[in-house]
Amino acid sequence: MSKVPLLLAICLTSTAALPDINQGRIVGGTVATASEYPYIAKILYASDHVNYRPVCVGAIINNRSILTGRVCWSAPNNQVLLFLAQVGYVNATNIGSLHSIAQLIQHSSYNSWNQAHSLGILRVTTIIYFGTYVRPIPLAPLDYTLPDHENVVAIGLSSTTATSELQLNAVELRTINQDRCEMVYGMNFLSPDMVCAGWETGGRGLCHGDIGAPLVHNNVLVGITAYTHGCGDGNFPSVFTRLYQPMTVSWLEGNS
pLDDT band, residue 129 (cuts 50/70/90): very high
One domain, residues 170 and 114 = no
Task: For residue 59, give the CATH number of its domain.
Answer: 2.40.10.10
Confidence bin at 160 (pLDDT 50/70/90): low
Question: Do 168 and 102 belong together in one domain?
Answer: no
Residue 12 lies in a domain: no
- pLDDT tens profile 219-255: 999 999 998 888 888 899 999 999 999 999 999 999 9
Mention every residue, 6+ apart, whose C-beta is less than 8 A from residue 97.
Answer: 86, 87, 88, 128, 129, 134
Asked, for residue 252, whether it belongs to a domain, the answer is no
Q: Is 5 left (phi over 0), alpha (psi -120 to 50) or beta?
A: alpha
Residues 189 and 120 in one domain: no
154 and 119 within one domain? no
| Top-confidence range, 1-10, 87-96, 179-188, 246-255 | 246-255
227 in Cβ contact with 240 (< 8 Å): no
Average pLDDT over residues 98-123: 93
Domain count, the chain: 2
Cα–Cα distance for residue pair 61/120, rounded to 1 Å: 12
Flag whether 15 is in a domain. Answer: no
* 92 and 157 share one domain: no
pLDDT of res. 6: 41
Mean pLDDT of 107-118: 90
Residue type at position 202: G
Domain boundary among 89, 124, 159: 124
- The answer to the question of residue 256 being in a domain is no
Would you state the pLDDT for residue 163?
A: 54
Structural domain including 82 reads: 38-124
Confidence of residue 21 (pLDDT cuts 50, 70, 90): low
pLDDT for 75 equals 61
- In terms of domains, do 164 and 225 share one? yes
> CA 99 to CA 48: how far, in whole Å?
17
| Residue 134, in any domain of the structure | no
> Are 118 and 159 in the same domain?
no
Q: Are residues 220 and 154 in the same domain?
A: yes
Would residue 101 count as lying in a domain?
yes
Tell me whether residue 21 is in a domain: no
With 70 as the cut, is the pLDDT of residue 1 above it? Answer: no
Q: How confident is the model at residue 15 (pLDDT cuts 50, 70, 90)?
A: very low
pLDDT of residue 18: 58
pLDDT at position 23 is 55
45-59, 129-143, 228-242: which is most confident:
129-143
Q: pLDDT of 172-225, one tens digit each?
A: 999 999 999 999 998 888 988 999 999 988 889 888 778 789 999 999 999 999
In-domain check, residue 138: no
118 and 163, same domain (yes or no): no
Pair 194, 232 in one domain: yes
